[in-house]
């Protein structure tokens, strides 16, 4: 898959993820040094937001906007993934009041590769493409947007509409549960 970086075509490495497919598990690092796995099946729906760098205007504005938009969803785990350094992230979270999402670091680019977002060349080599993924409670990708030009923002309205559907998703259950009226 390709995106553009300031108009220059740029190849993305990793496996392209399709809507309706199972969300891959990816290992990320929290700012306290601990590691966790994101994606796949989880107790709540997930919104994964890939951010090239919080040091840029578009990325920092997007992080702040998502932080406000997601507060209405109680059954949602929001994770912003970046490759920025721990000190900068901690300062950003404190100064901007980011409290609706976890910001994690794709230290080994595991997330970037598993979700097909690793920028392969140019001045943003080894950074993430700007993207969002909504994962329902069954671990299925229900929405995705990889922004074609890295300096553009995501479509917040479409993303939040998808989050609303996923956050209010009712598990299918088993046939015997349906038969019993559960």
Per-residue pLDDT reduced to its tens digit, 131-155 = 999 999 999 999 999 999 999 999 9
d(CA 33, CA 135): 25
**CA nearest neighbour of 142 among 167, 119, 112:** 167
Task: Quote the tokens at residue 118.
Answer: 């690793």
Rounded to 10 degrees, the C-alpha dihedral 27/22/12/83 comes to -30
Burial class (CB within 10 angstroms; exposed 0-12, middle 13-18, buried 19+) of 113: middle
Q: Which residues are catalytically annotated?
A: 59
pTM (whole model) above 0.85: yes
CATH no. of 2-180 = 3.40.30.10
């Amino acid at each position: 898959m390709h995106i553009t970086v300031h108009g220059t075509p740029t190849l993305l490495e990793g496996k392209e993820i399709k809507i309706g497919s199972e969300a891959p598990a990816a290992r990320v690092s929290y700012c306290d040094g601990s590691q966790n796995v994101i994606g796949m099946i989880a107790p709540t729906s997930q919104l994964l937001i890939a951010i090239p760098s919080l040091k840029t205007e578009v990325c920092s504005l997007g992080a702040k906007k998502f932080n406000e938009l997601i507060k209405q969803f109680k059954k949602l785990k929001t994770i912003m993934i970046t490759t920025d350094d721990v000190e900068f992230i901690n300062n950003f979270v404190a100064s901007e009041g980011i409290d609706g999402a976890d910001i994690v670091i794709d230290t080994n680019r595991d997330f970037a590769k598993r979700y097909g977002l690793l920028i392969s060349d140019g001045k943003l080599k080894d950074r993430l493409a700007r993207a969002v993924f909504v994962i329902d409670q069954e671990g299925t990708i229900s929405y995705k947007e990889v922004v074609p030009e890295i300096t553009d923002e995501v479509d917040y309205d479409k993303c939040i509409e998808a989050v609303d559907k996923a956050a209010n998703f009712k598990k299918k259950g088993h046939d015997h549960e349906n038969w019993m009226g559960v």
